Structures are given as C-alpha cells and as structure tokens.
Structure 1
C-alpha cells in the first residue's frame, strides 16, 4: 500500500511541476519513424496502411510482456483455455481449437510464427513492433486475413555498448532482469547477446494451495545475433534464441450465473489426477537473413527454424459461488510439440524509380501434435478420463510480387498479387482411459487438404501537400483450412473446416503538420469475411463446435495523433470505432440472448435452423482508445525527470461464446498506467517507479458456463486479468 501511495503522490507532484516548467517553451519536431511494412525501409508516414508502431522505449517503459499489454486500438487479445488470441478489427481465430492457424499472423524478424507458444516473451530487446491492420496477403508469408504484427529485434551496433536493468514487482512479489552487450568483433562481424530472467508470483490467491499466488511465472530467455558485413555488396544476420517459461497455477475463478460478472482474485483448487495446473513451454528459434547486391538489384533470403515443446494443464475453481467447496470435478491437460522450417527469397529494385518492384517466393513445412487428457469426477456417474491424439503435417508455398508506379512526384499506384498453395494431412484418434465417457462417443478421423488461394491488392496514393498523403486501397487475404484437433466425438464428416477469405476497402490520410510538431493519421474501412473459422462452446454437450460462419463484416474508423506542443512534452492519442457482426451464420449454436422460441439448444433441428445474421461477434469492443502524456523536466546538475501517464480504454464486450448478458459481458473500463524516471541527461543510469492498472480494475479476458452434471452446481468461470502492480526499476548503460 505504501508503494501505491508513493507512486500516486509523486506522479501528481511531478505532473504539476513539469506543466509549470513547460509553459513558455516552443514545440519540438517529431522524429521520423522508419518501418519495413512493405519490405523496404520507409517513413511510416509514407506507407499507405493503417498501422501503429510501438517503440522499444514504450514497451520497456511499462514492462510490456504480453500482447494483452500492447494497448493498440482495434487490437485486442482474448483468452479462453489458456491460449492468447489476437483480434484486429474484430477478427481472430479462437483459441479453443489448438490446431487453428491464426488470422492475425506474427512475424519475428521476417519469420512467420503461427502459434503463440513459439515466442513466449516476444517483447524483449527490440527495435520496434509494427501492427498492420487489415488483410496483408500480398507481401507477408501466409495467414494474414485480419492483419499482421511484425516484431523487429535490436541488432548489433557499430560501437561497443551494453545495458542491464533490474525490476522488483511489489504486488506480484518477484524480480526480473534483462540486459545486453553489443558491438564489433572485427571490421566485418558484429554481435549482440541479450538475456532476460523473471521470477514472479501471480495475482490470484489459491486457498487450496496454502494461499499460493497464481499464476507464478519463471522465465529465462537468451538471444545471440551475429551480423557479417564484409563489404557493401553482401551482409548476413543470424539469430539463435532460446526461451523457457514455467508457470504454476491458473487464473480461472468461479462466479454466479446471474447479476453480471463478479470476478475476484481468490480461488480454491487442489491438484487432480492430471497433475499440478500450469503452463510449461520450451522453444528454440533460429533465423538468418541475407542481402546480396546484384547490380542495382537486391536479393534477400530469410530462413527460419522454430520448434517448441509445451504442456498446458487447466484446473477450474472448485468454489461454489453460493458458499462451500466442491471436490475436484474437472481438469484437462494438453501436451504439444511443434516444428517449422521456412524459406523466403525476394528480388527487389533499388527504389526511387519510375517503377519500383518486389518479386519473391516462400515455402514452409510444419509438423504439429497435440494430446488431450480430460478428467471428470461426477457425482452419481463416476470418474472418466477420455483421451485424444491429433497430429498434422502441413506444407505451403507461394509466389508474390508488388509494383509501385510513380506516375508523378505526387501520385503513385501500387499493385500486388500473391498465389499460395497449402497441403495438410491430419489424423485424430480418441479412446477412454478410465470408464466409458458418457457425453461423447469414441471416434477417429483422417483427411487431406490441398488448396490454393489468390490474394490481390491495389492502392492509389496521392500527396495533396508536401507532408500530407491520402490513399485508397482494396485488398484480399486468406487463411488455409484445417482440422478439428481436440473435440471429442469428431468424425470424418466434422473433421475438416474450410479456408476463410477476407476483403478490405480502406481510405486514409497521413499528415505531418505545424512545422513537424503534430502528426495526424486516420483511416476508414470495410472488411468482409467469407467462411470465417469459428469455435464455440456448447454447454449442453460439454464440447466445442468448430466450423465456418458463412459471412461476417467489420466497419470502422481509426485515428491517431502525436503532438509536441512544447519542448520535452509529447502527447500521443489514438482511438478506434468498429461495428463487427455476422452477415450470415446458419446452423449456429444458440446464444443466451435468444429466446427458447427462436433457438432451443436441446433440439438439433432448432439449432440447424438458427442464423446469427446481425448479431455481434464475441470479444469485440465497439470503442477503444489510448492516451499517453510524457514530459521530460530538466533539473539541476544535469538531471532529468521523465513523467508518463497512459490511459487505455475499451467499451463493453461479450467474452463468452453464448454472449450471456449476465456472466458473459465484460463492462467497459479504463486502465491507468504510469512511470516516473530520474536519470542524468546523457543517460548512463536511471531509477524509475512504474505502475500498471493503477485504478485496480479487475477485468476478465474470457468466460463460460461450466454446466451440471460436469459440475455439481452449474456456475460461471472467468479468466481474470491482473490488478494493480507497482514496481521499482534501476538500470545502467555502458
């Protein structure tokens, strides 16, 4: 409590003092932000894409570890069952079917990462994160129907340097530290070595485990990057990264089915027959990027290898919301193995020509396996342990090209095209390890997929003034079909789901005004999906149903502002509105908001006739925003005091598949984060006080109804998010 009072008091005093110091100072020009969203280094203000760039400094300032902390409007993260799913403009791939490729793809140093476990702590020793909204089917490798996120690591430096930062978290009771050393080995070879260690308790108290704070988290990450550049003709950058994450406990808490969501930060569980709850992941990632000058052209090679081994054990709060504790009733366990190899080749023109172009080819090969163990202890029925095994082999290749026709100094026409081909083979088997499973039959399934997709785009870009650009674009994206990996009762008839396709129309403006002290960007869009891949929980059969929704769409507007009205003061604000709904979804599971006369979940014919046309998608807020204010006060003796406050807001959204207005509706909220840092002007050391979720908003990322007879009393379960956390930080550079 003392740390919280100290933080708030210091923040208020600092804000008042720095506002007074700023009164008579002139504004500062906002620096250029260089991105590679179009596979070339460009000023973000010249790129005709609605995107947000998050700097390494912004990520480190608030100790951003996960995508849920990234705070980009129209980008949100859902979590049901323990897997984070990224949604952009309302679309993502639900986490409940483990074999889903993601509609929002992650690229780390140019290498495709379709599964969140490949990079358990991606925000570590970075240059920046680029968030690209809308389909990016042309220049990115695969599965970017809703958008893409590109993470760019920090590279070796020309001069020797290093840094070490240590943090202690008061609320999550544990330390973390990270650092790097970087510099030349000789005139041709540079190296960067970075590492991070973390050992924190959680934020949910488990009274059944002697008050243990869950989820406790121990992480160890190490990365080595070598860059060989013997001349101006050739360079090659190689990276090896290892990560391990060992988490103990879970964050599912029980609540009543009526009266709205009532999450708390306590739970009661004991270890069941499947072992201690937690999430263990061990991953290796290796990549290499080479650039070779061939005359005026550049040949680029990007090679990637990724593998992980993971085990995720869920248990569910045994607390009866009306009072008392249940005996252990249900838990599950998901061991996974994954391996991927990929190769991309690009040939591109030098740029600044009448016609700038890029052509290339991409290939990847993946192998994935997931087992599923479920344990049920049901009064009157006995104990049951069904088991399933799923394995998949996938191979894809594509060819692509993009051209930019510079019609004049002000007018440009961009066109791109990508053809992708995917082959998958899947096998699914089940058996009962303990007792006959009463809810679903023991089945098996097998199938092959071979499909091709074409993703075109065209953009018109025009400079209406020297630093004001407008654009209009049309683009398509796609995501390959796949298989149901962990739903009991799956047969050949229900094993395969179709690919999904997206279509996007967008118009935007990017402007730098007021002598470079003000940047204003905005975009409007309409995105449509066909055969949207979905997974919904049907509590009547205690199972997730995987398939395709016929049509869905999202209409919205996005805007961002960066303003430096006086020297050392920067105000950043961005916001978004989106209206996301099903345009056609026949045969959908019943929603809690639908009367029994419209859809009766116990009558198959009623469900078959159900259509969710006009209903919203889950996990989506209509409104989201972020406002951040930062001021650097110049103090005596060459010291600086940097104060930052950030407010992130979302309007209400359903986070249960059945869209219950009682237990499945997360109310709108705003979360306040802040940082106060003292450092000398040349920055060889710093100390800082950091606070996240200072208003202690207790929110949920997912919810569902655990029904009887699986539970003795049916109740709601929530995946609860962290409350307030205060930490102290100190670091040195050398």
Structure 2
C-alpha cells in the first residue's frame, strides 16, 4: 500500500471513530423516549425497514420535503450528503459520489431518476418540480441489478403520495418576500367507492427572479410553473391492485441565473485587452461587469419553455404467496429555448434549441413471499425511445460576428440530431438466509441495447432557411466557431481540401452487458448489522449532438487524391460517437440502532473504479467534445443516522468524505491559456491536456449535513414547530475544464422553519440560505472569448441568495 493510500485510509477512519465516540458518549445523557419511527423504503423493490437494507441509502419523508420547502432536486440535494445538482447553460446535472453526466443531450444520466417506478433518464427531466410526495430515496453507488443499465453512479427513487380511503384535502400558499415568489398547492384525496380511491394534486408557482439584468432593466430568471397529477387506485379483486397516474408539468423561464464572473487577458490576446475592453473599445458595443454580485448584462430576451407528460400504469397481482408486478410508463417531454449564449450585452452567439423526446417502458417482475429462507425477485424490462434535437446560431444583420465577417451576414449554423434506442433486460436477485445471522444475496442483470443516430451540421440562410453551399461561408464558420460543417469540404478559395471537413454522419451501436452483484450480511444482533458487497455497473455508449468536430469521416471520399489520414483516425465517427462506461464497486457498511431505538448510526466505506467514464468538455469555441476517461477511482466514507434526543426533538445527521482521482485521462480539453501536452487524434499535434491525477468537478472532499426537528405543545391542540437544516460543502472545482480559477471555497447553507400547527391548519415562516452565501454552482468560458478575443472570460450560475417566505396551510 502506497503512503498516499495509507494517509487517505487513516483520514477515512478518523471521522468514523469520532462519530462512534460521540454517539457512545451521548447514550447516558438520553432521556426517556419512545424510540424512532421506522422508515420504510423500496430501494430493493420491496417495502423494507431502512435499517435492514444492506446498502448506502438516504431518505427524506414527504412531511420533511414539505416542511423544508423542497421544491425540486436542487433543493433536495441540500439535505443529503454526497449528491450535487447544478444547471448549466445547456443542461442539468446531478452527481453522486462525484460521478454524473456532463453537457450533452446525447447522454443518459449516470444518476438514474425513477418516479413511481418509471425511469427518467434525460437531463431536462431533472428540472421537474416536486410536489405531493410520499418520500425521496437516494441510493449511492452503481444500482445496475434492480434499477438498470445507466444508474452507474446511483439512483433517485421518488414516490408520489398515494390516494387515501378517507377524504382528505389540503391547500397551501407560500409568499417569498424579497423576490416575490408565490407558490400555491392543492390536494384532494379520498374514496370514490368501496374499492376505488383517487387523488388530485396541483401546483402553481410564479417567481420574479433573484438576479438583475441591468442592460434590460429586468429581474431574472422569471419563472412560471404549473403541475397537475391525478392518480387512482383500484382494488379490482382480492388478488389484484391497480394504480394509474397521469401528470403534466409545464415550466417557463425568462432569462437565466448567469453572470460574467471573470474577465482576464491571455498571453495569446491579439488586442492585449479584456473581453469587456474589446467590446467597448474595439467593437463599440456595450460593456459588462465581471463580479459575482447577482447582476448580469445580457441583450437577448431569453426563454425556456418546457412540457413534461407522464402516464403510469401499475398492477400488483397476488399469485398464491408470490406477487407479480407490472409497470408501464409513457413519458414525453419537449422544450424550446432561446439562449443568449455569449452572456454579454452584444449580439454575438444567440442560440435556439429544441428537443422532443418520447419514451415507452415496461417492467414485469415476480417476488417471493417475505420471511422465507430464500427470498427472490426476478423480472424483465424493455424500453424504447425516440429523440429529435436541433440547435441553431443565428448571425443576423448587426451581429458582432456578421459585422466582422460579412460573408456570414444573415446566415446561421444548424445542428440536426436524431436518435432512437431499444433496450431490454432480464434481472434477478435472491437472498439466502444461511442462518439467523448470515445472509447471502446474489443478483445479476443482462442488458442489450441498440441505438441508431444521424447528425448533420449545415450553414443555412436566415432569409430562405435553405442549406448553403458556398465554401467561403462554411470555412469561415469552421474557423470562427470551430464547427465542422457540410459546406466546408474545401477552403474559402473553393479548391484547397480541408483535412477535417463536412458533417453528415450516421451510426449504429449494438451492445450488451452482464452486471452481477454479491452481498454478504451479518446480523450482529437485532439492532446491529454489517454488510459487504461487490457490484458492477454499466452505462451504454452513444452519439453526441453537441460536438462540433466529426474528424475525417469522408475526407478521402470527397478528395480521393489526398493523402490518407493517420491510422488512429480510421474510425469515421471519432467525435460523434462515445463508448460505454463500466464500474466495479466494493462497499463495506454497518447499520446500528442504539439506545433502545433512539439512535441510529450507519456508515459505509466504498471504493469504485470506473472505466471509460463519459466526459463532455468545452472546446473553446461554441461546442462541447465528448470522450472517455480511461480510468477513474472514487472512494470514501459516508456516515448518517437519526437521534431522538427527547420525544419532541429529533436530530438527523450525515457526513461524507470523498476521494476522487482520474487515474488515466490523457485526452481532456484544455482550459483557456493552458498549453496542450497530449495528442488526442493521432495527427502528431498536441491538442489536449492530461488530467491524470486530478480531481473532477463537483467533488468536495467533505460534506456535512445536520437537521433538528422540534415540536412543542402549546395546548388546545396547537403545536409550535421548528425545523433547522444546515449543510457544509467543502471547497471544490466547478469549471468544466478544471481551470484553477474555477475552484470555489467551502460554504454553509442554513434553513429554518418556525410555525404553529393544529389539526387542520398551520402557519409559518421559512428561511433558506440564511447566511446569504453567494454560491457559484457552475462555471464555463464565454463562447469565443478564448478563440476570438484571447481572454479567459468566465460565466457562472449563482445560487439563490437568502429568502424569507410566509406560509399558510389548511387541511381537512
């Protein structure tokens, strides 16, 4: 064992020893209490006590989701360690233990999200609002056996609230004071007959925005969100229960929470000026400021309009003592966006984006009865989807680049991407109780998937919408935006062959994977359990809509007399296609229920090796290149639990230590000003940077969570309630290309809810980010700032500052 590894393992053991020591020291101080309520989860597709599940799981109940004001996944991640959420200029990202998916509409997400058993695998779906939930579960580490091929970093298992037999109604209103955020929620639930129940939940939110656009004199991002969900349960017979759900979410946004936060001159600058100075002094355009102060300058009326529809059918049939479950999900979403993707008050890179996605999935499984010597579950899964994505940069008259390069006036550069997929899987899992103390679980999943995709990049006329064929236009786009396209087979002179040229490709993939699991559990006593597991993960490869490079795919076909490219570039889809990734994960954990059921102390040590991790990084122009990092290792420690201090005071705590390292990643995109030191495409020219030995983005070494829930009776059926939440996140990198200036300091997020509650009403005040931390959640380079202006200019997403909201709820 190396000295480095020994130091890391020693560092992991210290927090564990401290946590156990603190817990033991507190046992004698506990006053009489009834014990913690049991938490039921479905992380293994059975209803089980959380303390009996042999894997690292964090969960939040529906009541906690409501009391903490959790509206979406961004809010949820503030209450769980070792999970990170961020929005970027082009996508939404969630990471668990430092692993997630970068900017590309071609990626399935490494953190699988499952809502009522239906897979939500696309980045845009992470923006869905959360309302009227039963609970949220986070499963850390690869979850390929039961949840599927792409849950290679973890899984979010979300459960909506079910209809009730008795009539219930709830209406609530929340009014945030500083940014005029209004949220309305309503719910009706009850029996329609002796064996049919229904539940209707609706939500409406408006938000004026927390960032000021001083150029347009407007608060941004302004949001409007509307959601509706109707669910019905039917006890069709003594053996058959049916659940049907239909829901729709629409969310519209004007503007973005993006501001320029850095503007520095590079040694390669042709002007020796900052980007702001170039705009004002050279181009005579409005300037901008580059401070993290929630003030932005953007000249485009940006918008993002999204619609998500879902229909879910679930049937549970009692076949003797066994249970057969069938789940069908129909899911679609669409969005159209206009992005001011230069992020400055000048018309430079306006981008229109559109996507339509349709998915159908079916899962059938059979489960043995609980409590047997051998418990087992087996099933089959099939999923189909179709995806259409396009984006277009428009250079109309008056655009800075159109004025600089007149040949581009009233033209655009357009990507058209289509992809379809069919995947099926067989899976099974069995637990053998060798004795009262020893339990052995074996599981496996076999998956096959086919994908087909096409992509074109064309220069088009903004007047006629026709594809252009003038090589001067195509080669100019290639030089300015680094975009290979179908009008750039030859240079601007019309005769000189271009080595990297054209962009009209198609591809097919057919891949399979076998992902086994083994888990050994030892029950030390009825309240203490240890487990060790080894599991594997698989995430399918695919095709990238966002890359602006295609390689040498038909250079020789267009130019038969030209010299052959290097052997390393024989693959015609080198930049269009990316490989599958795999994982091998080991975990050692322990779950303890102490002090007569009043204290829980759980921990997990993990080590996971990822091969060919899928990476997407900014190319310095207006695109992102997708590739695979050969080997990545993540390892660390997670500690969590609950403590019922007294009957009316409960503490929740969590801690994570994360060690992340790229073991072999030589083909990373360089940050602005960095000197390339590796050759990524075999043409003997250094064009990439070696990331080996570095940490990735969103990998804080330490994360702490702590929460206190307090209830005090005031008499007359009125309770005073208090919920305090705190999270500390250590320093980490937020720049996609690992620019050292993208390292942010650690920060603390604190929330507090105070209120009064009776049997049928409640009022309260909810504060979020009470320390008013200005937290940068994502940083990238302003498009063209490096390649055209010679500056290292950053744009950043900044989290919402302190908010105070008044709340009122009526229940019947």
Q: Secondary structure at the match of 1:505?
A: strand
**2:645 match:** 565
**CA drift at 1:601:** 11
CA shift in 2, pair 1:404/1:593, >3 Å: farther
> Can you list the C-alpha shifts for 1:225-275, whole angstroms capped at 9, x where unaligned?
01010333111100000111111111110122469x94221111222xxxx
Q: Aligned to 1:565, what secondary structure does the other structure show?
A: strand
Segment drifting more, 548-557 vs 650-659: 650-659
**CA-CA distance at 1:609 after TM superposition:** 7.3
Judge conservation of contact 1:78–1:619 (CA < 8 Å) in 2: no
SS at match of 2:306: strand
The Cα shift of 1:729 comes to 0.4
Q: Which residue, out of 381, 399, 402, partners 1:362? A: 381
Q: 1:341 aligns with which of 353, 360, 369?
A: 360
1:322 counterpart residue number: none
Matches within 5 A, 1:479-628: 479-491=539-551, 492-539=573-620, 541-591=621-671, 596=675, 598=677, 605=684, 607=686, 610-628=689-707
Shift of 1:208: 2.1
Structure 2 counterpart of 1:17: none
Question: Per-residue deviation at 1:82?
Answer: 4.1
Q: 1:302 aligned to 318, 327, 332, which one? A: 327
Q: 1:74 to 1:606 in 2, by over 3 A?
A: farther
**Is contact 1:372–1:486 with CA below 8 Å preserved after alignment?**
no
Gaps spanning 5+ residues in structure 2: where? Answer: 1-28, 266-289, 462-472, 486-502, 552-572
- 1:713 deviation in Å? 5.9
Are 1:103 and 1:144, in contact at CA under 8 Å, matched by a contact in 2? yes
Listed one character per residue, the Cα deviations across residues 507-533 of structure 1 (whole Å, up to 9, x for unaligned) are 001111101110111000001100100
1:441 corresponds to which residue? Answer: 484
Which residue pairs with 2:805 in the alignment? 727
Name the CA shift for 1:116/1:589 in 2 (closer, same or farther; >3 Å).
closer
User: In the alignment, is residue 265 of structure 1 matched against residue 328 of structure 2?
Assistant: no
Give the alignment partner of residue 392 of structure 1, picking from 419, 431, 441: 419
Distance 2:747 2:685 in 1: 36
- Tell me what 1:10 maps to: none
Q: Aligned pair 1:284/2:309, yes or no? A: yes
Q: Describe the shift of the 1:230–1:636 C-alpha distance in structure 2 as closer, same or farther (beyond 3 A).
A: same
How does 1:419-434 map onto structure 2 within 5 Å?
A: 419-434=446-461
Query: Taking structure 1 as reference, are residues 307 and 357 closer, same or farther at Cα in structure 2, changes over 3 Å only?
Result: same
Match of 1:381 among 405, 415, 429: 405
- The Cα of 1:644 is off from its aligned counterpart by 1.6
What CA distance in whole angstroms lies between the structure 1 residues aligned with 2:790 and 2:694?
32
Is the CA contact (8 Å cut-off) linking 1:118 and 1:306 kept in structure 2?
A: no
Q: Which range is displaced more, 602-611 or 224-233?
A: 602-611
* 1:657 partnered with 2:676: no
* 1:64 pairs with one of 52, 56, 70: 70
1:155 — aligned with what? 162
Which of 33-42 and 486-495 deviates more? Answer: 486-495
Match of 1:110 in 2: 117
Residues matched between the structures, number: 695
Q: Do 1:639 and 1:678's aligned partners in 2 also have CA atoms closer than 8 Å? A: yes
Which among 193, 214, 232 is matched to residue 238 of structure 2? 232
Superposed displacement of residue 311, structure 1: 1.3
Instruction: Check conservation: 1:252, 1:316, Cα contact below 8 A.
Output: no
Among candidates 226, 237, 247, match of residue 241 of structure 1: 247
Equivalent in 130, 133, 145 of residue 126 of structure 1: 133
Matched, 1:136 2:196: no
Instruction: Determine which of 44, 52, 69 is the counterpart of 1:46.
Output: 52
Q: Contact 2:515–2:536 at 8 Å: present in 1 too? A: yes
| Conserved 8 A contact 1:65-1:121 | no
8 A Cα contact 2:100 2:111, kept in partner: yes
Does structure 1 residue 411 correspond to structure 2 residue 438? yes
- In the alignment, the residues of structure 1 paired with residue 342 and residue 62 of structure 2 have an alpha-carbon distance, to the nearest angstrom, of 37
1:8 alignment partner in structure 2: none
Name the SS of the counterpart of 1:208 in structure 2: coil
Whether the aligned pair in 1 keeps the contact of 2:214 and 2:297 (CA below 8 Å) is yes
- Equivalent-residue separation in structure 2 for 1:152 and 1:708 (angstroms): 45
Greater Rg over alpha carbons, structure? 2
Structure with a larger share of its residues in strand? 1
Q: Give TM-score, length-normalised by structure 1.
A: 0.91
| Cα separation, 2, equivalents of 1:394 and 1:597 | 36
Please, which runs of 5 or more residues in structure 1 have no aligned partner? Answer: 1-22, 320-325
- Structure 1 segments (4+ residues) deviating >4 Å: 316-319, 591-594, 597-606, 708-714
Shift of 1:634: 1.6
| Structure-2 change in CA distance of 1:545 and 1:117 (3 Å) | closer
Q: Is 1:642 matched with 2:666? A: no
**8 Å contact from structure 2 (residues 360, 385) kept in 1:** yes
> Partners of 1:282 and 1:592 in 2: how far apart?
36
Q: How far is 1:169 from its partner?
A: 1.2
Q: C-alpha distance in 1, partners of 2:514/2:672? A: 38
Alpha-carbon distance in structure 2 between the residues aligned to 1:132 and 1:258 = 42
Any conservation in 2 of the 1:75–1:87 contact (CA below 8 Å)? yes
Indicate conservation of the 8 Å contact 1:420/1:454, yes or no.
yes
Q: Which has the higher contact order (CA 8 A, sep 6+)?
A: 1
Cα distance in 2 between the residues matched to 1:658 and 1:607: 17
| Structure 1 residues 389 and 592: CA distance shift in structure 2, 3 A | closer
Q: Distance in 1 between matches of 2:371 and 2:30?
A: 42
> Measured at CA, do residues 723 and 609 of structure 1 come closer, stay the same or move farther in structure 2, by a change above 3 Å?
closer
